[in-house]
Structure 1
Amino acid sequence: MTQRTSLTNSDVVDLTQWRRELHRHPELSGEEKETAARVETMLQATQPDRIVTGLGGHGVAALYNGAAPGPRLLLRCELDGLPIRETSTHDHRSQDPGKGHLCGHDGHMTIIAAMARLLGRRRPTRGSVVLMFQPAEENGAGAAAVVADPEFADLTPDYAFAIHNWPGVPLGHVALASGPVMCASRGMRIRLAGRTAHASQPENGLSPMTALSSLMPALAALGQGRCGTDPDYALATICHARLGDPAFGVAPGEADLYVTLRALTEARMVRLIEDAETLAATAARNGGLGLEIGYDDVFVTCDNTPGAVAVASKALDRIGIPYDQGPFPLPGSEDFGRFGGDCELAMLLLGSGVDSPALHNPDFDFPDDLIPVGARIFSAIVDDLTS
């Protein structure tokens, strides 16, 4: 098998500088206009067969075709940063107060940028490769919007792969497993509507206090088991509660409650939603209150398929990168599972070090040493499927 040309030392220097420039200028979910422009400029230099912009918002994809028919691979990364103030002191720290690339999406983009260089120098022998720079991963909206975009129909893959860096896993090691690897989750918004009254005459109003105070422990009690040990794992986390307005002269007439629902499988999520909505409806009815329910940040479960895991395992064995199941399955969520559909799909965790700050910590920074490692992994997968 012909090995795809490796990155040069000059490539690694250029890519490291590019990653750090992305790090300086993070953009939040749905706002990635300038990041997408940087990506498009970078891709144009590699002369892909096609560039698609505006996918599902600010998404960008590049297509590299082989000379013969074969499978289509999609390699995916994320464009967005987080609404967190970075506290690092390095020279490439965020220049946008209150925003930061504190999940490593800048590094993931750079690994895919490395693949653009390699594919620009040598196309697949057969089939094709799509490099997908996806918007709005952090709020769960991006992958769904990309897949629903009519432009995506011509890019639908047979295989989809993603790499996410992972603190706690040894630097450069990989975690890989079949089956559910990340949970489905969604943010449930509950509004209880009553009637305000003067604080001296609360009997003239209709307070949601009792309903709110009973709902919080009841919802939390819906949780079950631990992720990784209980296949029926579920979790309901109370994240925010508001009762009326901050005033002493008014008895409250409305309340808001935010709860994050989480489950290892889609079937378990359906049951969890039904149970949570029943509790909310019962509390509202018992209190004579109006009820509104809405959902945000909806993530489906991310399931690695055996076929894609077998391909990735073979590639890792061939290039000598150690791997095991690692921390899978994880209680966190990732919208990469939306690309599954009828294709083979696998997410790999690439260790960013046992002593690395955790993801979403204000001092997290993607390790630049992972750029060539991630590119080697993706390159080996592409070679195995398209040579």
Structure 2
Amino acid sequence: MTLTNSDIADLTAFRRNLHRHPEISGEERETARRVVAALASHPPDTILTGLGGHGVAALYDGSADGPTVLFRAELDALPIQEISDAPHASSTAGKGHLCGHDGHTTILMALARLLSRRRPAKGRVVLMFQPAEETGAGAAAVIADPRFDTIAPDYAFSLHNMPGLPLGHVGLIPGPVNCASRGLRVAFTGKPAHASEPENGTSPMAALSQVMPALTALSHGTTQDRDFTLVTVTHAQMGAPAFGIAPGEATLFATLRTLTDDRMEALCKTALGLIADAAGRNGLTVDHGFDDIFLHCENHPQATGILRSALETLGIAHDGSGLPWRPSEDFGRFGHTAKSAMLFLGAGADHAALHNPDYDFPDNLIPIGTRIFTQVARDLLG
């Protein structure tokens, strides 16, 4: 079973329509509606909507008992203004599909076409269109939904396009493939004063200026090192935008990143110790919180072997190029309930990077990704 030229034309149009109408994490209502509407032409045996928010699961059943194989794509876009003169560029100011989730979703929609024409011989396939990947909340919410218990996959697979790899080349390794990360919010509180009498207040300026380089100095090694750490300061603000007031408060955002979950705990402890010490030395109170919490993503050896076998059957070049990858992915949570693995599909050596305002998913990857997932489904389920 392969996609026809007509299929590819329809799927390209579908992908570009998604691209024109991006919705960010937690707001994917219309994107999910478009997915459900498209599935009506390729009806699954069961469809679940509203999973973990706006998630959609389409189930295609075989005629005999067998494993449940889940393929996951993401629905959400990013709160970034797209810069593009393409006819299908985002029509929503400040939002864009600049990570390729529109393409990943289209690959699953292509798989739905093929499965509707020929069901698996045994077991079942679950096409999981997941919300809120970009915040790290979506996979956890889907898995926590009581209806996910009726899916209970034995295997879970996903892909992510990877700019920097040659078009269609695949990165694949067992073990850690995406880093753990979390956003750290810090609020320093002192006392504001008149700008002519700063000695009458307690400014967070010194603490903020000490903490930023101290945090980034915690960065260590590369993702080839088990103890890799990276701290990136992403936002800082102090006081009001005025000339007459010496500041009395400051906020700081930083992203903490490690190769594995166990290393994250140690990095958090060290970072919070630096922050508390700077606050104490400067007479400030301090509060903190964590957001966008991603567990590390680890490829199960058996699931990795299944992907590798499919790639070799199809004659698709693959190696460990670029892996483990610094970016985070919440697909790793599916690995806590199933044997899971993610592959990384080259978007082109010179393709715009993910989360860049000029990024666009290469439509040529739609049939390649579909061939890979179809081969996996046939290898496992016939």
Regarding TM over 0.5, the answer is yes
1:247 aligns with 2:242: yes
Deviation of 1:287 after TM superposition, in Å, equals 2.2
Deviation of 1:179 after TM superposition, in Å, equals 0.7
One-letter identity of the residue aligned with 1:202? P
Report 1:102-141 matches (<5 A).
Answer: 102-141=98-137
Aligned positions, number: 382
Deviation of 1:64 after TM superposition, in Å, equals 1.0
Deviation of 1:377 after TM superposition, in Å, equals 0.2
1:24 aligns with 2:23: no
Corresponding residue to 1:302 among 290, 293, 297: 297
Distance in structure 1 (CA, Å) of the matches to 2:206 and 2:360? 45
**1:100-128 per-position Cα deviation (integer Å, ceiling 9, x unaligned):** 11111111111000011111111111111
Counterpart residue number, 1:174: 170
One-letter identity of the residue aligned with 1:325? G
Deviation of 1:319 after TM superposition, in Å, equals 1.3
Counterpart residue number, 1:371: 366
Q: Secondary structure at the match of 1:214?
A: helix
**Aligned partners of 2:220 and 2:228 also within 8 Å:** yes
Counterpart residue number, 2:286: 291
**Aligned partners of 2:152 and 2:337 also within 8 Å:** no
**1:232-278 per-position Cα deviation (integer Å, ceiling 9, x unaligned):** 00011111111111222211111111111000011111100011111
Counterpart residue number, 2:219: 223
One-letter identity of the residue aligned with 1:362? P
Counterpart residue number, 1:237: 232
Distance in structure 2 (CA, Å) of the matches to 1:107 and 1:283? 45
Counterpart residue number, 1:185: 181
Deviation of 1:32 after TM superposition, in Å, equals 0.7
RMSD of aligned Cα (Å)? 1.1
1:89 aligns with 2:96: no
Corresponding residue to 1:329 among 314, 324, 327: 324
Deviation of 1:163 after TM superposition, in Å, equals 1.1
One-letter identity of the residue aligned with 2:361? F
Distance in structure 2 (CA, Å) of the matches to 1:202 and 1:354? 53
Corresponding residue to 1:52 among 35, 48, 54: 48
**Aligned partners of 2:66 and 2:124 also within 8 Å:** yes
1:276 aligns with 2:271: yes
Q: Secondary structure at the match of 2:148?
A: helix
When structure 1 is superposed on structure 2, of 308-317 and 118-127 the one drifting more is 118-127
Distance in structure 1 (CA, Å) of the matches to 2:38 and 2:347? 25
Report 1:332-351 matches (<5 A).
Answer: 332-351=327-346
Percent pairwise identity: 59
Distance in structure 1 (CA, Å) of the matches to 2:115 and 2:77? 26
One-letter identity of the residue aligned with 1:184? A
One-letter identity of the residue aligned with 1:180? P
**1:333-354 per-position Cα deviation (integer Å, ceiling 9, x unaligned):** 1111111114111111111111
Distance in structure 2 (CA, Å) of the matches to 1:231 and 1:6? 41
Deviation of 1:6 after TM superposition, in Å, equals 1.2
Distance in structure 1 (CA, Å) of the matches to 2:288 and 2:151? 36
Distance in structure 1 (CA, Å) of the matches to 2:96 and 2:26? 15
Counterpart residue number, 1:145: 141
One-letter identity of the residue aligned with 1:282? D
Corresponding residue to 2:73 among 72, 77, 83: 77
TM-score by length of 2: 0.98
Q: In 2 relative to 1, CA 95–342 (structure 1 residues): closer, same or farther, beyond 3 Å?
A: closer
Q: Secondary structure at the match of 1:12?
A: helix
1:206 aligns with 2:199: no
**Aligned partners of 2:203 and 2:246 also within 8 Å:** yes
Distance in structure 2 (CA, Å) of the matches to 1:261 and 1:86? 26
Deviation of 1:205 after TM superposition, in Å, equals 1.7
Counterpart residue number, 1:33: 29
Deviation of 1:303 after TM superposition, in Å, equals 0.6
Q: Secondary structure at the match of 1:340?
A: helix
Deviation of 1:45 after TM superposition, in Å, equals 2.0
Distance in structure 2 (CA, Å) of the matches to 1:285 and 1:88? 48
**Aligned partners of 2:3 and 2:367 also within 8 Å:** yes
**1:190-210 per-position Cα deviation (integer Å, ceiling 9, x unaligned):** 001111112222222222222
Distance in structure 1 (CA, Å) of the matches to 2:258 and 2:375? 33
TM-score by length of 1: 0.96
Distance in structure 2 (CA, Å) of the matches to 1:70 and 1:181? 28
One-letter identity of the residue aligned with 1:341? H
Distance in structure 2 (CA, Å) of the matches to 1:194 and 1:138? 34
